[in-house]
Chain A
Amino acid sequence: MFLDSENKRAIRERYNLPFLSLVSSRLGRKLAYLGLPGAPLNDLVDWGPMLSVKTCVQIVRKPRLQREEDLQIISEMASTALVQDIKQLEIIRGAIEEVILAGKGIDGASPKLSVNSGTGISFQYDIYNLDFLGGIAYKKTSQTATGQKSPRIKAIEELFARQRGHDFNLFLTLNVRDTFGDEPVQFLQEAAQRTQNDLIQTVAAWGSGLGEGFKQHQLRLWVPQWIRELAEMQNFRCRCLPSVAYTGHENAKMIHFTFEFQFVAGRDLRVQSSQTAEDVLNLPMLLVEEGRFLRCVVSGDPCSILEPPQGPLTPQQLMSCITGDTHAELSSPVAIQAS
């Protein structure tokens, strides 16, 4: 069951909300949301003024007790929406992966902003908030044996196909726990082999050698690269914002990513983002502790080309992370000490 934390709240209010505000003001309208807000609907309460349609997805598991629990969450979501006066809200029952892949929930209900035309299903949401408390992927042995991808990975890949023609943004929050094994390391190593770029090769070597305790850093290296590739393959230009590590409910180690995707119409071949792989690797990693935003640096991180600032980030520095002007703001003279 989803439970809020001070750190998560800080991310929602001080990192996500200004970002959504920027996007909303750029588009001149409110944003359509699809996500996994959980029973308290914290996203929707905090971001309410920026949002129009709100499609909330809630899994309903089959075992009786889990089913009861999930149905209770759905009831609470519906009730909370009324108590908090949240309008234009719909609840789709089903796993997010199934909803993205099949275009509908277990009751056959499709998300409000989905279109099922003869050529397939498409979505027209502006912001996805995917809080995967269980990690990026759990690979079942049966799936590995049959060569199938894990549904979550498949769903994220499919999301870009569903959104083709419509710019969108993605908040992706992952628990560091997963059953991916060596795959991220292989991914990084292959990326390094493919390129002559020194930084990528160094990063790949460094990332491959990180132990279990540094999973957040490993994720921070490979997830943005993977997402960027998926986006470009579907003609989206991608901008990645600095990732945010935090400790969630019950000491869960979490990492939060923010991506902005801009569709390039009229192109058959893959497009290239203006933010390069190197730029992405060089993005600072933030850390939220007790609700404060800090720079997160690990000794030996080849990407940490800037000295970290001392103490919490100022609102201006945080804003520069959101707008993309990180170098200018984060290389402030107060940045003196490496952790």
Chain B
Amino acid sequence: MPKDTTPKGQLKQNASILVGDEIPQGKFVTIPAKDDDIGGQLLPILSKGLYTNPLDCIREYVQNSVDAGAKKVTIKITGNSVLVHDTGQGMDEAQLLSSRKFGISGKDLAEHVGFRGIGIYSGYDLANRLIITTKKADSQDELIMKFDFGGMKKELEASPVGTITLSAILSDFTSFSRKPSAAAGKSFTTVQLEEISEVHLRKIGNRAELRQYILQNLPVDFSDNFDFKQRITDDLAQNVPGYKAVTIELQSDDEEDEIITRPPLNGLRAPNIGPIYSDGKIIAYYWACLNKENERLGENNLALTKKGTYKPSDYQGFIYKCKGFTIGNRDQLYTLFTAGSGTLYRWYTGEIYVIDDQVIPNTARADFETNAAKSRLEIAVKSKLEELEKAAEKIRNTALSDKKVTEALAALGALHNEISKKGIDTFEDWDKLRDVRDQIKKHRAKTSAVIKEKADQSLKIVEKLEKEIRTGVSRNVSTSHSAKRSAKSLPATLPFPTKPVDPAPERTLTDVLKELDLFDSPSSSRVMEAIDAVLVDVLGSDSTAYQRIIAAVETTLQGED
């Protein structure tokens, strides 16, 4: 196959003719387009159409900062201006001039987020002026490029559609300057949007809304208080080409300066981190943390943050990231969790960093452009999320079984207390014991190791109790007698919770005779009390012999009735 010798950036061309030449028959030719083929109206159409939220414009400028290698970006709202300042590498004259190009970007797709060459115009609809001041570290001067958006708008409004070209508009209403800098050795770029219309300023100036937008859309660094910051950051830095996270500082006239970080989520299980493959090639990288509480992420996971600053729902589930910038929202992947209407999705918080540079975010950053690479990504992510859902399901089932078995153990404890107190009621206790045993056996297999061990110990005790009951039935002894024996035969340490049982007051022979109303005179009563006192002295009131005497007397006399 012959080697393609077309220079980079140029399209392969057919035979070319000039405007005015006759178009030949039977073959295709090219006719060069000219600058005046592109109307100035394109500018408002694109800038208004692509950036519907004024905050998107902030995102575009921060994106440029990130592409310039900035570690910190300051967003300042003062008066009717917004400034986006970064300490990235700055621009030289050629780069500054190049940044004015409309729809042409020299950025490398593998390294940078911005690539369409339109982002710089995202402030067109918002402000009357855009000023970019920049400096390279080794330069003595600051370079300034000024866009008179107000002038452009007036000119376009005043000119009939199609009569003014884009290049004329850009030439006439942008200007350049240079001045000596006091920031020796420093590099920076400051983008200033001035004379922002009031309605837009109100939205941009709303600190809560801006913070929320930044957190949801920009590559904001993790909080230092997030337990897994180091682990996730290290992993992403190592495995995601072009991974960037910046510190963003917000400044405004009437509010305290604020450093924006992602919330220090707490109460999460250690992260699950790894690549996502398609046809043996890594196309994305993910991290995922499950809530320890086995429920959707909630306020408890935001316990380390100032109340109201963050919303749990903003961190539930997964989101796509491209070089740190958010694509779409967390609801987009929700449907990939299928069990129980996707309940488990919100137990997770995580991110999927798209590595495949064939997967291209759309301009609104709401989704990816439709192509084969996007389809491959979706299939691979679906498979990974199914895996994660299964893992969460297993954890949920274990938790559910643990809960059931723990409940059964508690019931067993209560039953044990009851038996200790009143003795075994053969049939009723037998049924209860069977229920508890069945419950433990049913859930035992899915429980965690700790609960499983307790369950096994408890099953042994249940067996022993069952044996006791069977023995009691076969001996046909009194229930109270059997109860004493059962209680005493239980092991000293029980694997289930039991309530401490108050010892039943010892009954004496005199008590039994009084209960049966056998004394018809005070003297007979005194005689019986004297005999009883001797028996207690000789045998002891808690002795088996004494209790047997009482039981025998009771049975005999009740039988007479």
Stretch from B32-40, B79-87, B310-318, B454-462 forming part of the interface with A = B79-87
**Chain A residues with CB under 8 A of B179:** 76
Does A102 touch B at the CB level, under 8 Å? Answer: no
Number of B interface residues at 8 Å Cβ cutoff, please give it: 22
Across the interface, B78 reaches (CB within 8 A) one of A76, A84, A87, A91, namely A91
- Pick from B79, B179, B186, B253 the residue with the most CB of A within 10 Å: B79
Task: Please state if B194 and A82 are interface contacts (CB–CB under 8 Å).
Answer: no
Does A264 touch B at the CB level, under 8 Å? Answer: no
In the complex the two chains form, what is the Cα distance from A218 to B300 in whole Å?
73
In the complex the two chains form, what is the Cα distance from A325 to B81 in whole Å?
47
Find residues 82-105 in chain A having any chain B CB closer than 8 Å to their own CB: 82-84, 87, 89-91, 93
Across the interface, B251 reaches (CB within 8 A) one of A45, A83, A87, namely A87
Mask: chain B, 60-91; 1 = CB below 8 Å from A; 0 = not = 00000000000000101011110101000000
Across the interface, B188 reaches (CB within 8 A) one of A75, A83, A87, A109, namely A83
Task: Please state if A90 and B253 are interface contacts (CB–CB under 8 Å).
Answer: yes
In the complex the two chains form, what is the Cα distance from A87 to B76 in whole Å?
11
Quick one: given A40-B182, A71-B194, are A79 and B253 in contact (CB under 8 Å)? Answer: no
A86 to chain B, nearest CB (A): 10
Quick one: given A87-B251, A107-B79, are A79 and B190 in contact (CB under 8 Å)? Answer: yes
Task: Please state if A78 and B186 are interface contacts (CB–CB under 8 Å).
Answer: no
**Chain A residues with CB under 8 A of B85:** 79, 82-83
Does B97 touch A at the CB level, under 8 Å? Answer: no
Does B131 touch A at the CB level, under 8 Å? Answer: yes
Quick one: given A75-B194, A80-B182, are A107 and B80 in contact (CB under 8 Å)? Answer: yes
Mask: chain B, 183-194; 1 = CB below 8 Å from A; 0 = not = 100101010101
A112 to chain B, nearest CB (A): 8
Across the interface, A83 reaches (CB within 8 A) one of B80, B129, B183, B192, namely B183
In the complex the two chains form, what is the Cα distance from A227 to B183 in whole Å?
38
Q: Other than the known A71-B129, A78-B83, A91-B78, what 19 A-B pairs have Cβ atoms closer than 8 Å? A: A71-B194, A75-B131, A75-B133, A76-B133, A79-B83, A79-B190, A79-B192, A80-B182, A81-B76, A82-B74, A82-B76, A82-B83, A82-B188, A82-B190, A83-B182, A84-B183, A87-B251, A90-B78, A109-B79
What are 28 inter-chain pairs, A to B, with CB distance below 8 A? Answer: A71-B129, A71-B194, A75-B81, A75-B129, A76-B133, A76-B179, A78-B78, A78-B81, A78-B83, A78-B192, A79-B83, A79-B85, A79-B190, A79-B192, A80-B182, A82-B74, A82-B76, A82-B188, A83-B182, A83-B188, A87-B251, A89-B78, A90-B253, A91-B78, A93-B79, A107-B79, A107-B80, A109-B79
- Residues on B facing A (Cβ under 8 Å): 74, 76, 78-81, 83, 85, 129, 131, 133, 179, 182-183, 186, 188, 190, 192, 194, 251, 253, 257
- Residues on A facing B (Cβ under 8 Å): 40, 45, 71, 75-76, 78-84, 87, 89-91, 93, 107, 109, 112
